[in-house]
Copies of this chain bind each other. A is one copy, B any other.
Amino acid sequence: MSNDWQQLTDGVARGDVRSLARMITRVENRENGWKEAMKALYPRSGRARIFGITGSPGAGKSSLTNKIALLLVERGLQVGIIAVDPSSPFSGGALLGDRLRMRDIATTEGIFIRSMATRGTLGGLCQAARDVARILDASGKDIVLIETVGVGQDEVEVVKAADLVMVVLVPGQGDGIQALKAGVMEIADLFVVNKADRDGADEVVNDVLAMLEISSQADGKRPPVLKTSALSGDGVPEVVETLLGLQRDPADGTHLQGDRVREEILTLLEREILRVVRGAWGVNGALDEAVGEVLAGRQDPYSVAERMIAGVRNALEK
């Protein structure tokens, strides 16, 4: 490992905030040596608990995340927050709002907050979240909160990097629950109905309970459903208590952990191969030529891709 990476990983291991921020950036960008640095840090990780927080847009996830973080710090725990943001130029306003809101909490001792764009992350979003959570873990954070904006499939993927997932809903979103992206309800270990002072909060709770009834598991276990008001803070202590108390069955736990490790290995492998594939054809013009052939009607994309498999083999051999 090069000197500068060594300094960064040493810094992270000491819990130095600047090293933490710089290492995250460099790993996200897949700068040369990132993998060796992650390997070096790996044995220091595995101690933190990682909670995913997702739900409908406008459900108040950020406020809730902040309140949860503050309560965790009050208990003497070190907290890392990964806020997964959309990165459209059109959402600049919302982003700025989030950033300002974040500033309040970012200056709190014991909390490190990091935002991550949903696009352009070289390692893939879920792997990026895993890497960042692992760096935070290695730096001594006790709890890492991964908060997502929106409920796209991306976000669902991201929270798969977490040990436990909390899904936040709000009253008054009409078909709110039904509009929830496929896969979100299924991965919840805890449901929170936020803005519970609004009309219709109990209906949402009942809707969730009804849905859990339909999909009830063989063992009869069901995720708890809690009500909060992130603004007033009502109900948030109960959420923290529940989160900290949530333990998977040891058997389930090992099984799930195995699945997560399997998924991570495959993701790392796939990303590496895709990098090689895209890289190999970006430079030698073979892809441009193939595109020209298809545009001219002399080839179809299926045949071209098939022939290129041979090229992948060669690229991997280098």
Contact = CB atoms under 8 A, between A and B. Distances in A.
Interface of A: 35, 38-39, 42-43, 46, 57-58, 86-91, 93-94, 118-119, 150-155, 174-175, 177-186, 211, 214-215, 254, 257-258, 261-262, 264-266, 268-270, 272-274, 277-278, 281, 287-288, 290-292, 294-295, 297, 300-306, 308-309, 312-313, 316-317
A287 B262 contact: yes
Given A261-B301, A273-B273, A295-B254, A88 B182 contact: yes
Nearest to A316: B313
Given A264-B301, A265-B294, A313-B316, 11 more contacts: A42-B302, A89-B215, A90-B215, A91-B180, A119-B183, A152-B152, A258-B295, A261-B294, A262-B288, A273-B274, A273-B312
A269 B305 contact: yes
A58 B300 CA distance: 38
Quickly give the copy total for this chain. 2
A273 B277 CA distance: 10
A93 B178 contact: yes
Given A86-B181, A291-B262, A300-B39, A308 B269 contact: yes
A160 to B, nearest CB: 13
28 contacts: A35-B302, A38-B300, A39-B303, A87-B182, A88-B181, A88-B186, A90-B180, A91-B180, A91-B182, A93-B178, A94-B179, A119-B182, A152-B153, A152-B155, A152-B181, A258-B292, A258-B295, A261-B294, A262-B288, A265-B291, A265-B294, A266-B281, A269-B309, A272-B309, A273-B277, A273-B312, A312-B316, A313-B317
Contacts of A294: 261, 265
Q: Which of A35, A119, A186, A261 has the most CB of B within 10 A?
A: A261
A132 to B, nearest CB: 14
Nearest to A290: B265
A73 B107 CA distance: 61
B277 A270 contact: yes
B88 A183 contact: yes
A265 to B, nearest CB: 5
A248 to B, nearest CB: 15
Question: Which of the listed residues A151, A288, A316 has the most CB atoms from chain B within 10 Å of its own CB?
Answer: A316
Given A265-B301, A304-B265, A308-B269, A185 B316 contact: no
Nearest to A91: B178
A269 to B, nearest CB: 4
